[in-house]
Amino acid sequence: MTLTSVDIPEDLMDFMDSLIQKGVRKNRKDIFVEALRYYSRFSMYEWNPPQYYIQAHTRVAWITDQAIRELLSIIEPQKHVEFGKAIGRNIRDVLMVAEGIGTAKKEDWKRPIEFLEFLGYGRFKKLEDKINATDSLLSAQILQGCLESLLNVKLKLVTSSPGMALFQVS
């Protein structure tokens, strides 16, 4: 790893130190490296408010969690899985075209799952023949549909509660 030094404004150093004190990250290096990874993925150098693009291919919009809940309340619950499948197909297509990432094979699931986390869809953990989803604003049914079409797999909802779902891979 290359060693470099940079001048960082005091307010940003204080912010990094507060993240360390809160236990968000272990040290300044981890914060700095993660910030650069996000910068790279978001292609921030190409941002032109109010239009934001990830890797110059996909326009994204910032939306509050309350707005998401209100939008989802309009969709009939029996259509949540199908709605999620549409989301998953879109993300799958973005990954294939923009990143050259396949999503259908289990050995390729790491990158699409990281991308979902990066987009704020929640946190996901692959457990043998299960997928655990936590910290999600989306319903378990929407997540199920999204993961099914993104990963080209059939899932069965094992259990769920607000913000958490456990799926069995069929």
Q: What would the pLDDT profile of 24-53 be if each residue is shown by its tens digit?
A: 889 999 998 888 877 776 665 556 667 777
Q: Given pLDDT bands bounded at 50, 70 and 90, which one contains residue 97?
A: confident
CA 1, distance to chain mean position in Å, is 27
Average pLDDT value for residue range 107-111: 89
What's the rounded Cα separation, in Å, for the pair 85 and 15? 39
The answer to whether residue 64 scores a pLDDT higher than 90 is no
Strands, sheet with 123-127, edge to edge from the N-terminal-most edge strand: 123-127, 130-134, 164-169, 155-161
Q: Given pLDDT bands bounded at 50, 70 and 90, which one contains residue 96?
A: confident
